[in-house]
Structure 1
Amino acid sequence: MDIRQLRYFVGVVEAGSFTKAASLLKVAQSALSLHVRQLEEGFGTQLLVRERNGVRTTDAGQKLLIRARNILNEILLTEAELTSKKASPAGELTIGIPSGAARVMSGLLLEAVRNDLPRVSLKMTEGMTGPLEEWMSAGRFSLAILYRTEESIGQMKALASEEFCLVAPPSGPPFEASIRLSDLRSFPLAVPMRANNARRSVADVVAHHGCMLDVRFEVDSLSTIINMVMEGKAHSILTPAAIHKEVSQGLVRTIQIVDPVITRSVVLAVNPRDDHKAAIVALRKLIADVASMLIERGIWLPVR
């Protein structure tokens, strides 16, 4: 097994056939077949099933595909870190980003891409987390910023942590610095729809502790929820990043939720088909840098 064999194997799987892979990789089809056959002989197991319309991986082939992509990505990262040459990745990349994260991250990220990756065209889609997760699963994005509990991060890169807080109108009775989870039932809430990660994160903790919430409005729009709180029509449960601007302007107030604290992780998901591309490697580093900047500013919390 050598690096070239791994590149050819990944290329064949991603192209879906030896014919398409030969054209994309500019390698003779017979050479590709030979290298894949040598891999199969070396491992002593079948990796690909040749069918009339192309190829599909066996269980062993799927395991190798995951490993090979990781290996090739590590090679690119190593080359980027050790080479003295200035790489200039190019191409069009797509990223999905939740509305809350976008409010503090999108401007910094777009500026970093403009300055450090001038040949990369970044297409950014902002939305609620439910649709973004579905589109990422369908392969619509090259990367996506997503939210996860600590137990469900898997192989995705954790960028930061967030704590949920009660968001209250600027007028009204004073609050203590914190509020117990069990006391949230006293406040009429405007919250995202049930498919939204923020809603699920809060609901899971509330259900686990046998508490109740007074959900009056379910709205799949962050800006509408924030406006309702500002106008005194409801309270909400959000993360500080989502209402950072309004808090700094005195338009809403935040109260820490305790007993227990409700947390989630901000993670970076990458489409496996794009993970080995130089532009993706460079963009992943910029995203990590932006996350570190937000942690330094106190908007996000360090990874737990």
Structure 2
Amino acid sequence: MDTRRLGYFVRVVDIGNITRAADSLHITQSALSQHISALENDFKSRLLERTGRGVEVTASGRSLYRYAQGIIRLEKAARIDLRAGGDTPAGLVTVGLASYSMAPGLAVPLLRAVRERYPNIQLQLIQNLTVVMSQAVLLGQVDMALIYDPGYVRGVVFEHIREEEFHLITSARTPPVSSRGDTVTLKEASRLDFLMPSELHTVRRITEAAFHAAGLHCSVVAEVEPDSVLRDAVVNGLGATVLPLSAARAHFAPDEVRVYRFADSRLYTAMSLCTCEVQPLSHAAALVADLVRTLVPAPAAPGRKPA
């Protein structure tokens, strides 16, 4: 199979329009259409449906798109590794970082450590993907991911790094939720409007499960994925959210929010390093994994406001 065609296909899916994709690839529209047709012939399946606005991806196309991303990444990693040569660790290493966690705060320290110790390793840090991170590891789209442990997932291994306890986060501009300082009950919290990630996210699932177990409703008024949007929305008093203390410290200035520990329920999960069960890490990826383990900070002590 011509991996170049897979790259063309991924570009078309990303842009959603063959004409604009052809322009970005510096080839003609007809040539790009021929490459897509050749892929469809190879797989004996329709990958794209042409529409008046551009193209829509079929179910088969979505499956190929996920695998194509992994294949393209592995090819790029091989080229970097072989180009470096010698005994110096080299290659492309892709690390997925869970949103709404302490993981994004690890990005700069990890990048610095890799540049200082292994200058021939090209690090790629990814936070948002079209599939969940554990599936991205399984599909070869990332080498490893630092994520909330979702429980058993066939084909991947979860190495517990640290435990994260969730806290209620509200804007300092809004009245205090509780008169007891830095603790709050689920009933008190249930009176608030919440800004949360999608229903698939571990933070959302654990939070709603705790409210449900207490016979209460968690009112989610908006689903927010980008961390920067969440930060601004909470600070401006548009809703409360639930985060681990480490993420609250990373996202908010000390006087922007109030942080409450749940007095009558412990909401927590494990942060884990996720790797593929059947595909061993490359030498470069194994070195980066060791750095991740050493850079993960110890759990922060609870407090009323993030420092």
TM range (shorter): 0.5 to 0.7
- Structure 1 residues without counterparts, runs of 5 or longer: 1-86, 300-304
Match of 2:105 in 1: 104
Q: Post-superposition shift, 1:274?
A: 4.6
Q: Post-superposition shift, 1:171?
A: 1.7
State whether structure 2 residue 216 is matched by structure 1 residue 211: yes
Question: Where do residues 182-197 of structure 1 align in structure 2 (5 Å cutoff)?
Answer: 182-197=187-202
Q: Post-superposition shift, 1:220?
A: 2.4
> How far apart, CA to CA, are the structure 2 residues paired with 1:274 and 1:113?
22
Number of corresponding residues? 210
In the TM superposition, what whole-angstrom CA distance separates every residue of 1:144-171 from its partner, at most 9, and x where no partner exists? 111026x659841111111111111112
Aligned AA (2:170): A
Match of 2:91 in 1: 91
Cα 1:239–1:125, aligned 2, differ >3 Å: closer, same or farther? same
Q: TM-score, normalised by structure 2?
A: 0.62
> How far apart, CA to CA, are the structure 2 residues paired with 1:258 and 1:141?
38
Question: Where do residues 196-275 of structure 1 align in structure 2 (5 Å cutoff)?
Answer: 196-272=201-277, 274-275=279-280
Instruction: Report if the CA contact (8 A) 1:98-1:128 is conserved.
Output: no
Cα 1:178–1:205, aligned 2, differ >3 Å: closer, same or farther? same
Q: Post-superposition shift, 1:208?
A: 2.9
Q: TM-score, normalised by structure 1?
A: 0.62
Aligned AA (1:229): V
In the TM superposition, what whole-angstrom CA distance separates every residue of 1:151-194 from its partner, at most 9, and x where no partner exists? 65984111111111111111232342111123221111111111
Instruction: Report if the CA contact (8 A) 2:245-2:300 is conserved.
Output: no
Q: Post-superposition shift, 1:297?
A: 6.0
Question: Where do residues 1-304 of structure 1 align in structure 2 (5 Å cutoff)?
Answer: 88-99=88-99, 100-127=101-128, 131-148=132-149, 152=152, 155-174=157-176, 175=178, 176-272=181-277, 274-291=279-296, 294-295=297-298
Aligned AA (1:90): A
Instruction: Report if the CA contact (8 A) 2:90-2:121 is conserved.
Output: yes
Aligned AA (2:250): K
Q: Post-superposition shift, 1:227?
A: 1.1
> How far apart, CA to CA, are the structure 1 residues paired with 2:103 and 2:279?
22
- Structure with bigger gyration radius: 1
- Structure 2 residues without counterparts, runs of 5 or longer: 1-86, 303-307
Question: Secondary structure at the residue paired with 2:175?
Answer: coil
Cα 1:266–1:152, aligned 2, differ >3 Å: closer, same or farther? same
Cα 1:141–1:273, aligned 2, differ >3 Å: closer, same or farther? farther
> How far apart, CA to CA, are the structure 2 residues paired with 1:252 and 1:219?
18
> How far apart, CA to CA, are the structure 2 residues paired with 1:192 and 1:110?
26
Instruction: Report if the CA contact (8 A) 1:97-1:124 is conserved.
Output: yes
> How far apart, CA to CA, are the structure 2 residues paired with 1:240 and 1:296?
8
Instruction: Report if the CA contact (8 A) 2:157-2:276 is conserved.
Output: no
Q: Post-superposition shift, 1:138?
A: 2.3
Q: Post-superposition shift, 1:283?
A: 1.4
Q: Post-superposition shift, 1:249?
A: 3.5
> How far apart, CA to CA, are the structure 2 residues paired with 1:272 and 1:140?
14
- Identity within the alignment, %: 20
In the TM superposition, what whole-angstrom CA distance separates every residue of 1:210-232 from its partner, at most 9, and x where no partner exists? 22112211222222122111011
> How far apart, CA to CA, are the structure 2 residues paired with 1:216 and 1:244?
24
> How far apart, CA to CA, are the structure 2 residues paired with 1:121 and 1:259?
46
Q: Post-superposition shift, 1:130?
A: 6.1
> How far apart, CA to CA, are the structure 1 residues paired with 2:130 and 2:272?
12
